[in-house]
Amino acid sequence: MKTMTMESTKPLLSDLRNPAVANSYLLFKRLLDVLIALGLIVLFGPLMLLIMAGIRISSPGPIFYWQTRIGKNGRPFRMLKFRSMQVKNDPDLHRAYVQKLIHENIQPGASGKSNLKMLGDPRITGLGKYLRKFSLDELPQFFNVLRGEMSMVGPRPSLPYEYEVYKEWHKQRLMVLPGITGLWQAMARNTVSFDDMVRIDMEYIQSMNLWLDLKIMFLTPIVMIRGKGAG
């Protein structure tokens, strides 16, 4: 995978293509998003019902969780997930962990850190641990895709307290719709530093095309089944 510098000024999607070609791609990408999201809602409907029952039985609280995320061009939106945490939990521990990772750009494996997600997070339920391991808590985000807030493929949507400590070059990853999956999830997941994750996102933005999107969507189920780099 090619390496980018933090001060990279390589052209983005709008500069790489004729505007008509770029607009055609984005229009087709949106159409594909809607068709795939609808198809997967039907396909995974029975599994989603099973997960809903499991959450209801295993821990008190709502089945779904609306989480504020930062989307395209820094606009906040509410992302839908299956609840994988206890209802009453303190976000300060995770906020401090994530902001430290971004500030210090900690490399996974260094100083006992094994990935970008906080290990042994006490807020996570017993069932939630497995939902997160195989990314099943993300399934309701198909509805965010239908609402036009997310794409099937794109950079991971940022938490507000992540965005608060972004450097200017980090914010370039917000130039496109966030995705349920993306190049980072398919190729590295939580096994690289934050800066490297942003570089991978920028590589996707600079190269995004239909075939790359399809390749990422093909690789994602393989990565999910393996559970590698999950948090």
Q: Is residue 5 part of a domain?
A: no
Look at residue 145 and tell me if it is in a domain: yes
Q: What is the pLDDT of residues 110-130, one digit of tens each?
A: 444 445 566 667 788 889 989
Q: Confirm whether 11 is domain-assigned.
A: no
Share of residues in the chain with pLDDT > 90 (%): 54
pLDDT tens-digit series, residues 154-206: 999 999 999 999 999 999 999 999 999 999 988 866 678 889 999 999 999 98
Instruction: For residue 74, give its domain range.
Output: 18-225
Q: How many domains does the chain have?
A: 1
Is 151 contained in some domain?
Answer: yes
When pLDDT is cut at 50, 70 and 90, the band that residue 11 belongs to is very low
- 230 lies in some domain: no
Q: Is 86 exposed, middle or buried (0-12, 13-18, 19+ CB in 10 A)?
A: middle
The half-sphere exposure of 102 on its side-chain side, counting CA atoms within 13 A, is 20
Report yes or no on 2 lying in a domain.
Answer: no
The reply to whether 13 falls in a domain is no
Q: What is the per-residue pLDDT across 32-66, written as a single tens digit (0 to 9) for each?
A: 999 999 999 999 999 999 999 999 999 899 999 99
pTM exceeding 0.85: no
| 7 falls within a domain | no
For residue 144, the model assigns a pLDDT of 98
